[in-house]
Amino acid sequence: MTRKNLMKAARNGTKDGLEKTKIAMMRKVSFLSKKDCTDDIEEDSGYLDVTVSELKHPPPQLSPMPEGLSSQQVVRRHILGSIIQSERSYLDSLKRILLEYKKPLMEAEPRILSLKKIQPVFYRLKEILQCHSMFQIALASRVAEWDNTEKIGDLFVASFSKSMVLDVYSDYVNNFTNAMGLIKKACMSKPAFLEFLKKKQAASTDRITLYGLMVKPIQRFPQFILLLQDMLKNTPVGHQDRLPLQLALTELETLAEKLNEQKRLAEQLAEIQQLTRSVSDRNLSKQLNSDQKQLILSETLIETVYGEKGQVLKSKERKVFLLNDMLVCANINPSDCFVGPPDISSLVPIGPKYAVKWSAPLLQVQVVEVGQETPQRKDSIYQQSGSKRLSSTNSQGKLFLGPPRLYQDLQELQHDLSVVEEVTLLVGTLQGSYQNLNTTVGQDWCMALQRLIRIKEDEIQCANKCRLRLMIPGKPDKSGRPVSFTVVFSTPSPISKISWVNRLHLAKIALRNENLPGWVCVEDDEKTKPPFWCPLLACQLPVFTPKMQDLKAGLYNPVHCSLLGFSAASTSLPQGYLWVASGGDDSHGQVEIFSLNRPTPRSVKSFSLASPVLCLEYITEPSTDEELETQTSEVLSKIGNTICVGLLDGNILVYGSVDTAAQCLLTFCNPEGCPVLCLKHSANFLFAGLSNGKVAVYNRKVTEGFWDPDSCRHVVIGCAPVLKLLQIDECVWASCANQVSVIEGSSLRTQSFEVHPDPMVSVTHMVRAGGGVWMAFSEGSSLRLFHTETLEHLQEINISTPSAYLSPGQKSVCVTSLLICQGLLWVGTAQGIIVTLPVPRLEGIPKITGKGMTSLNAHNGPVEFLVATSSILSQDFLKRDSTTEGVDSSGGGEDKKVTNSSQESLQQVDGSPQAKAKGVLLQYHLRSTSQLPGKLLTARPEESSDSTQDSLEHTLEDGSIYELSDDPEVWVRGPGPSSKEVARREKVTSAAIISGGKGFRRLAKSSNSPDSSENTLMVWQLPITV
């Protein structure tokens, strides 16, 4: 690398790094020498060959800990020590590869491997060592002055933000699969090479393999990220190292993400190539060789054949490949994997060879969940492993694979339901009129039994959390009729099954016209192919059929649904409700509520308000201090989560968020009657941004939990309307004109700073990610990033859209909505076009470093709102039942129980060993018969009958079965899990983005979408993340 390029690389880092580089260049230090052109033939001449003398440049060494350090300073020193030790170990591993493996192979006589094979195996390792040798020199300098500066974040930025680092690591990662393949072939074909690897491993003290050493560069940046996260957690706000650490996290996360994506693509390409080589069918081989093929998911699953009672008859491993338009199942041939010596796999991973068993077009593959109705079709359905028709079905055409006891229980409940239905018909013929024996009671019995059947089916599904049942199209029979066969795969874990069901569902959505393509990168003339994890347009639907109404706001109300089945939870939108509000006209507003517990939102309720709606805010259930918990827990549990609605007439309405009842719990107006433009809650305060430039702040009543209108305090922000409020830790940011004011907690002290030079421009949107806030403005297409702690302006970008995507007469792009979700900054524009930009997900600074993507699905008018919906799948879905495997393997298990949260009221309760099992109280909606006409049919005296009935009803309320509802649109009214409980769980998150605006149109050149002014919601679904 020339001196000019070196100086240029240093300028990309910090000023400190630049100055140190200048000094090094002036002194012409010996360790920055030009590499010998006669060196390794594959090396590029553009990299420095760094030879570090430990005498001149000793490794970093922390001085003894001085006295008087705070606890955080002590922890930071320990973390710095971990960084030093970790980097030293990493450098030793790199040197070990080059000195103990590459060098002996290069010098061996006779040759163990040819130079043409040695160079690709160790490609770019020397350059990686050079990068980290230079980092070690700088690290040693920084460690020596640690007690004076206590700063290290800028060193990581200067060292790892250079393009050189990304280039060498990218080359190494992209070549890694190829290098492992070369080592594998060499082990098989050259016994001397295999013996060489064995001796090197045996001679090492840690007995680590060559593969174990060569995988370390792939693991290095995730290790750095963990160490810097720990350092940041122990760096107080205001510390000089805080912003540099956040920037360092951003650089490392961005670098790690790019390398992970390149590694993923390289591995997928290698997997497809290996599969293609195993295909004998020319047509299938040609399809797999197509550039359009993308590997979405591949995994080794166990194909299982079951008997009539759910017992396992036989099983075998299969490799299943989910491509973007087909599903392929292959036999694994282990005998072909180890042509060479049997101990090669201990030295380097060896991939298996495959023999394709079957393949099917993706759109013809169906996931059939256990307990679901089989499709009503005339096809012949066979089990894959034999010609015998499936027999584990009941009269209704349902298939159940699982413990025989559960299957028997289900059959008994179905029998009882048929009997009770007959009894109900007979009760209808009674001559007398009785409160507790009539057709109403009988129908309630029937509904209760139907619910018990559903619960039992859910238990069977829970017993099959690791069973994936697919219906695959087969070849037509002799008469030409289509034939389908079923295959049942056992997945390694419930999460694996969730991933398969979710990816199969999304892969089918990706084949719809609106997603072919769905996104383009306008920065490189649409050459970049959008990856599978890009948001997929799942549906579009109208809202507020009267066209004169304008969309104003959207809100996600997360509510957990206990009735959602295992596979349904994998394919449906995040559980909860979507509230959509309109401004209507000046005299009224309207709210429409959509249920999201299905692949497509469904409208469940709509109601009008006396004034147009301007904003919505979801408020979580208030937390109480320990000393007040005993006094207020009962009141607060009744309040729960709420939704606040701000109106044009100055009123604020508080609604319960439990279900679709949408009961208004409280109404109050700000003293000045100004329109409420925005709402935000922080701790026990509600902030309302008003049109007169003030923010009204309301306290929460301790004894009732509601907001106290009499506690209203006003904070003057400016003369212009307060357009946006944003919560940042203990503060709330309020935008007014071109300034933002930071309102501190309960003290309400403010600090204002200017965010745009033009006083006529207003801040219209603010979103936070990590340590930064992105802002959009009333004019122009620029977005600005500010630091949450120092309020420093960090970055500015412009949202550009090709003129071809703009309708005739449309002006330049203007931002109308802003959102951050799962590493993407969503930008909605006045032209109806939506753009996404990648941002870091961790605690760093959310700088834009990658290319933006433009959605080819757009609105005809401004994007009025963008709403992120996200829910965590129930922990019950992720637990593998310990009894399931035992039942499968033994074929018995009649006395075992399958644990399920909804089974509490179905369990037998024994008071003593001889006690008789307690029966199930058969009730549904009907909690009491006292309101029914007729006399009470009982053998007890009249004076005791009422107390008996009351006692019975009180015990009933404690049964968990009554937390369920027959209608899947009505949700459980029990308290949700606390945030601490959720944090301890393994999270599987589903997410979707919803936009609202006028009409729908395709931006593709060949599209002829009709113009529409109808209010429309577009729903983008994201893959489930673990």
Q: Is 865 exposed, middle or buried (0-12, 13-18, 19+ CB in 10 A)?
A: buried
What is the biggest distance separating any 2 CA atoms in the chain, rounded to whole angstroms? 112
C-alpha distance across the termini of the chain, in Å: 42
Q: Say which residues have a Cβ less than 8 Å from residue 176's Cβ, sequence separation at least 6.
A: 214, 215, 218, 263, 266
Q: What is the pLDDT of residue 632?
A: 45
Q: Is the confidence at residue 979, as pLDDT, over 60?
A: no
Q: Is the confidence at residue 609, as pLDDT, over 50?
A: yes
Q: What is the pLDDT of residue 59?
A: 86
Residues 527-576 pLDDT 10s: 667 777 789 999 999 998 766 678 889 999 988 776 566 667 788 888 89
Q: What is the pLDDT of residue 334?
A: 66
pTM for the whole structure: 0.78
Residues 341-366 pLDDT 10s: 555 555 555 567 788 999 999 999 99
* Superfamily grouping for domain 3-275: Dbl homology (DH) domain (1.20.900.10)
Question: Which of these ranges, 197-211, 324-338, 698-712, has the smallest mean pLDDT?
Answer: 324-338
Residue pair 210/122 in contact by the 8 Å Cβ criterion: no
Q: What is the pLDDT of residue 952?
A: 32
Distance CA 35, CA 46 (A): 9
Q: What is the pLDDT of residue 289?
A: 84
Query: Residue 389: which pLDDT band, with cuts at 50, 70 and 90?
Result: very low
Look at 317 and 804; give whichever has higher pLDDT.
317
Residues 206-234 pLDDT 10s: 889 999 999 999 999 999 999 999 999 99
* Range 300-329 average pLDDT: 85
- Single-letter amino acid, residue 41: I
Got the DSSP string for 812-866? S--EEEEEEETTEEEEEETTS-EEEEE---SSS-----S--EEESEE-SS-EEEE
Tokens standing for 476? 């037509």
Q: What is the pLDDT of residue 454?
A: 83
Q: What is the pLDDT of residue 638?
A: 57
DSSP letter at 204 equals: S
Query: Residue 397: which pLDDT band, with cuts at 50, 70 and 90?
Result: very low
Distance CA 672, CA 68 (A): 55
Got the DSSP string for 310-372? S-EEEEEEEEEEEESSEEEEEEEEHHHH-SS-TTGGGTS----EEEEEEEEEGGG-EE--TTS
**Tokens 């997603």 appear where?**
515
Q: What is the pLDDT of residue 464?
A: 74
Enumerate the domain spans of the chain: 3-275, 283-400+467-492, 403-463, 493-598+763-879+986-1026
Does an H or E element contain 670, and which? none
Tokens standing for 948? 């008996």
Does an H or E element contain 869, and which? strand 863-872
Distance CA 119, CA 124 (A): 9
Angle at 327 between CA 326 and CA 332, to 5 degrees: 140
Q: What is the pLDDT of residue 456?
A: 81
Ramachandran assignment for 781, one of left (phi > 0), alpha (psi -120 to 50 degrees), beta (any other): alpha
Q: Say which residues have a Cβ less than 8 Å from residue 329's Cβ, sequence separation at least 6.
A: 303, 318, 319, 320, 321, 356, 357, 358, 359, 487
Residues 496-524 pLDDT 10s: 999 999 999 999 999 999 998 899 887 76
Question: Which of these ranges, 89-93, 102-106, 633-637, 715-719, has the smallest mean pLDDT?
Answer: 633-637
Distance CA 823, CA 870 (A): 13
* Range 189-197 average pLDDT: 90
- Among 302, 488, 467, 304, which residue's Cα sits nearest to residue 381? 488
Q: Is the confidence at residue 92, as pLDDT, over 80?
A: yes
Got the DSSP string for 88-109? HHHHHHHHHIIIIIIHHHHH-S
- CATH 3.40.50 is right for the domain spanning 283-400+467-492: no
Q: Is the confidence at residue 796, as pLDDT, over 90?
A: yes
In sequence order, what are the beta bridge partners of 79?
Answer: none
Query: Residue 181: which pLDDT band, with cuts at 50, 70 and 90?
Result: confident
